[in-house]
């Protein structure tokens, strides 16, 4: 998986591309989120538009990202969820835990 | 099931080897005529089974092998994943939907496997380790019809 980090209107945006799966993608996501939080980001958007596959480890990393951000006083939003990512979060009732938006603009306005 | 659709793989306990299983599995499921959507969820279930075998079964010891067998009986896809670990008691699993577990980073893999397959079953492996057997009815064009189509090309 590839992670591109950019800034927009004071918000740190992580664009994820590829598979968030055990061994590679999950670690890349964890490192990117920790780096953002450690560098003082208080508003974070994870853009999942180009995620093709997510497994339980990837879901676990999204949960860890949410709890890490919350514990450090930061806010985290998820945007552009592909249908299969929505499905997998729905099955484990996590879709209600995250703040999910259909577009980056909507998520930016929500902070 | 034609012999070219049945497969057996033996992989070392490294996470990157899951991708190897996926490549072979994808090809096999396509030949069975499984629809894209169903194939995606079988793919996830098998990822979870192999990841568990590598991580929890074989403790990521690359010298220990994970065996993967895929076959078709009638219209039922059967996938067996074996590890060489210490064994596993599925009754010890926690409910990932319980409020106290909802924000835990782990504990969802087997829940997803149960959600995406028709049946999963754990049994001890002779000589040590665990076998998980996943079953799923194949819908879409039947495997037999698909094979006949391919023969006619």
Are residues A91 and B104, on separate chains, in Cβ contact within 8 Å? Answer: no
Confidence check: pLDDT of B55 > 70: yes
Over residues A3-29, the mean pLDDT reads 94
Say if strands B76-82 and B119-124 run parallel, antiparallel, or are unpaired. unpaired
What residues in A contact B16, CB-CB < 8 Å?
Answer: 23-24
Say if strands A2-8 and B7-12 run parallel, antiparallel, or are unpaired. unpaired
Confidence check: pLDDT of B148 > 90: no
Query: pLDDT digits over A31-47, tens only?
Result: 999 999 999 999 999 99
ipTM: 0.92
Query: pLDDT digits over B74-102, tens only?
Result: 889 999 999 999 988 888 889 999 999 99
Confidence check: pLDDT of B22 > 90: yes
Average pLDDT, chain A: 95
- Find the residue in A nearest to B113 (Cα): A56
Distance between CA B101 and CA A83 in Å, rounded? 24
Are residues A57 and B18, on separate chains, in Cβ contact within 8 Å? Answer: no
- Find the residue in B nearest to A56 (Cα): B109
- Nearest residue to A108 via CA among A80, A84, A85: A80
pLDDT of residue B138: 87
Residue identified by tokens 């806010």 is A75
The whole-model pTM stands at 0.90
Distance between CA A90 and CA A17 in Å, rounded? 21
Six token digits for residue A59: 């879901």
Cβ neighbours, 10 Å, residue A82: 15
Quote the longest CA-to-CA distance of chain A: 34
Q: What SS3 class is residue A110?
A: helix
Are residues B103 and A67, on separate chains, in Cβ contact within 8 Å? Answer: yes
Six token digits for residue A18: 């590829």
Our CA angle for A90, A92, A97, nearest 5°, is 70
What residues in B contact A98, CB-CB < 8 Å?
Answer: none
């Amino acid at each position: 998986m590839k992670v591109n980090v950019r800034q927009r209107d004071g918000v740190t945006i992580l664009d994820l591309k590829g598979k968030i799966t055990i061994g590679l993608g999950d670690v890349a996501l964890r490192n990117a989120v920790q780096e953002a939080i450690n560098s003082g980001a208080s508003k974070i958007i994870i853009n999942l538009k180009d995620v093709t596959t997510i497994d339980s480890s990837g879901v676990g990393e999204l949960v860890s990202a949410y709890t890490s951000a919350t514990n450090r006083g930061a806010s985290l939003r998820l945007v552009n969820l592909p249908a299969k990512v929505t499905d997998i979060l729905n099955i484990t009732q996590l879709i209600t835990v995250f703040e999910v938006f259909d577009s980056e603009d909507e998520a930016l306005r929500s902070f | 099931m034609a012999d070219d659709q049945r497969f057996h793989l033996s992989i070392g306990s490294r996470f990157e080897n899951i991708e190897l299983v996926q490549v072979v599995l994808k090809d096999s499921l396509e030949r069975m005529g499984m629809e894209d959507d169903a194939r995606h969820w079988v793919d996830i279930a098998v990822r979870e089974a192999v990841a568990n075998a590598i991580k929890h079964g074989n403790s990521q010891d690359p010298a220990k092998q994970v065996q993967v067998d895929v076959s078709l009986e009638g219209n039922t896809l059967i996938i067996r994943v074996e590890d060489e670990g210490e064994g596993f008691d599925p009754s010890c699993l926690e409910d990932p939907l319980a409020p106290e577990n909802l924000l835990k980073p782990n504990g969802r893999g087997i829940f997803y496997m149960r959600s995406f397959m028709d049946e999963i079953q754990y049994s001890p492996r002779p000589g040590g380790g665990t076998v998980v057997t996943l079953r799923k009815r194949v819908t879409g064009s039947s495997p037999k019809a698909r094979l006949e189509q391919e023969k006619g090309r």
